[in-house]
């Protein structure tokens, strides 16, 4: 493995500093992050410097700050391990002449309409998709493609701003809800509602070769917010999904790094909802590591440090003594809106068979919203690992059901 002395980590969303330190104890780390996400830098003292600027700052300012650091201490690698600021990392790497995803690839991944166009042009799949700025434009799309429809921000995360419309009489109200809940200034995308089981797929790529290592079945509420999921390695029945994801990654020009691709398994075959040039969120990498011994975060860090990781991964996958289990997570949601007083019985929940832990995401005094609107509204979660998915899912659900949430009126 090539050892670098100075790594620029953009956004700092994942717990990568200890991994970097373990793999290269002499590494110097600079973290560049938006002020809105400064709290996500989990080990600030592990960095030689932490630089924060408003997320609305011109991309040229992000590049200029990185260049300033580079002049003082040459940056030898750029990594971005979370959802945000991948485009800034791409611009910085391009300016410094360092490996990263090309800017046009990140732009296509971030932009839901551009992604659809690339998949269509490559013959991977056809899903009608366009932006709408008025209710009349939405009606014309509905007349052409039928109902139900999905409205979502052109660039959005965390199930924020997703609205389903089933009835022509609800088009105006649905469009208004989508606009109000979308990030400011984000165009609204409309697509046919895809019917089928929802899964996500974890892969890691190197030199254009894609290795699919995880398939996750989603459990969602009526607002499309994830309530839980079950993670496992791909099995004999996942051949069509694996092939479709590989074709999609090729079409989007993704040649290296971890990816997280969300799909609907329709009667006509898998259809991509969106993909990301990072490992999945919502504890998917941790569950995959606990259940199958595949650490996507470590593999991603090794790639940033210049190591070829597919030989290491292939050796791991072939190891006869490696665990081959399933991991599950179940989220705790508030019973009603109000101020959180307490969450009790976490010790009892964690002591249940197969449960690997419970984590709270809210503190006493925080305001809770029910029903939840997006992933930020969830109160906590419990995880479990078992020999099969249904058993792990039941164990995680039982743990969450053990918790007692006390809420005071708002």
- Going by CATH, does the domain composed of 328-408 fall within 3.90.1010.10? no
> What is the token pair recorded at 103?
């800017």
The count of C-alpha atoms lying within 13 angstroms of the C-alpha of 307, restricted to the half-sphere facing its C-beta, is: 17
Show the DSSP H helices in 148-238 as ranges. Answer: 171-181
d(CA 196, CA 340): 36
For the domain bounded by 197-322, which CATH number is listed?
Answer: 3.30.470.20
Domains 6-100 and 197-322 equal at CATH topology level: no
Q: Which residue has the tokens 């409309």?
A: 190
The burial class, CB within 10 Å (0-12 / 13-18 / 19+), for 209 is exposed
Please count the other Cβ atoms lying within 10 Å of the Cβ belonging to residue 50. 18
- Decide if 41 contacts 63 (C-beta within 8 A): no
pLDDT per residue, tens digit, the chain (410 aa), is 556 689 999 987 678 999 999 999 989 999 999 999 998 888 888 999 999 999 899 999 999 999 999 999 999 999 999 989 999 999 999 999 999 999 999 999 999 999 999 999 999 999 999 999 999 999 999 999 999 999 998 876 555 678 999 999 999 999 999 988 887 778 899 999 999 999 999 999 999 999 999 999 998 877 678 899 999 999 999 999 999 999 999 999 999 999 999 999 999 999 999 999 999 999 999 999 999 999 999 999 999 999 999 999 999 999 999 999 999 999 999 999 999 999 999 999 999 999 999 999 999 999 999 999 888 999 999 999 999 999 999 999 999 999 999 999 87
> What is the token pair recorded at 393?
């899912």
Interior angle at CA 285, CA 215 and CA 43, nearest 5: 165
Q: Please give the class, per CATH, of domain 6-100.
A: alpha beta
Q: Please give the class, per CATH, of domain 128-192.
A: alpha beta
- Decide if 215 contacts 263 (C-beta within 8 A): no
pTM value is 0.93
Q: Is the dihedral of CA 39, 45, 47, 53 positive or negative?
A: positive
d(CA 364, CA 106): 39
Listed by start position, the domains of the chain span: 6-100, 128-192, 197-322, 328-408
């Amino acid at each position: 493995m090539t050892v670098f002395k100075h790594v620029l980590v953009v956004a700092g969303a994942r717990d990568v500093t200890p991994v970097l330190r373990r793999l290269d104890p002499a590494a110097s780390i600079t973290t560049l992050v938006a002020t809105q996400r400064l709290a996500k830098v989990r080990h600030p003292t592990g960095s030689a410097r932490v630089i924060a600027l408003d997320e609305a700052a011109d991309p040229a300012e992000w590049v200029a700050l990185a260049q300033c650091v580079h002049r003082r201490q040459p940056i030898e690698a750029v990594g971005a391990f979370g959802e945000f600021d991948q485009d800034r990392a791409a611009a910085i790497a391009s300016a410094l002449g360092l490996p990263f995803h090309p800017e046009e690839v990140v732009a296509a991944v971030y932009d839901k309409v551009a992604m659809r166009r690339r998949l269509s042009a490559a013959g991977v799949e056809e899903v009608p998709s366009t932006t709408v700025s008025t209710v009349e434009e939405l009606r014309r799309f509905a007349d052409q493609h039928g109902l139900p429809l999905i409205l979502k921000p052109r660039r959005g995360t965390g199930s924020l701003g997703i609205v389903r419309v089933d009835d022509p009489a609800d088009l105006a109200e649905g469009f208004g809800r989508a606009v109000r809940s979308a990030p400011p200034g984000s165009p609204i995308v409309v697509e046919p509602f895809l019917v089928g089981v929802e899964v996500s797929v974890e892969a890691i790529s190197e030199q254009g070769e894609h290795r699919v290592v995880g398939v996750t079945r989603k459990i969602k509420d009526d607002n499309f917010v994830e309530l839980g999921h079950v993670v496992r390695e791909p099995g004999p029945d996942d051949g069509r999904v694996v092939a479709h994801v590989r074709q999609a990654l090729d079409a989007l020009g993704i040649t290296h790094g971890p990816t997280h691709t969300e799909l609907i398994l329709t009667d006509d075959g898998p259809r991509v909802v969106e993909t990301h040039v990072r490992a999945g969120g919502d504890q998917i990498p941790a569950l995959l590591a606990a259940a199958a011994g595949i650490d996507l975060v470590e593999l991603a860090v090794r790639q940033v440090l210049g190591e070829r990781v597919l030989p290491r991964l292939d050796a791991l996958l072939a190891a006869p003594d490696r665990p081959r289990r399933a991991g599950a997570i179940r989220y705790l949601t508030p019973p009603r809106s109000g101020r959180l007083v307490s969450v009790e019985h976490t010790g009892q929940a964690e002591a249940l068979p197969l449960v690997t832990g419970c984590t709270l995401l809210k503190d006493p005094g925080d305001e809770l919203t029910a029903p939840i609107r997006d992933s930020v509204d969830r109160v906590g979660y419990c995880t479990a690992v078992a020999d099969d998915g249904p058993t792990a899912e039941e164990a995680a659900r039982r743990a969450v059901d053990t918790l007692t949430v006390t809420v005071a009126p708002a």
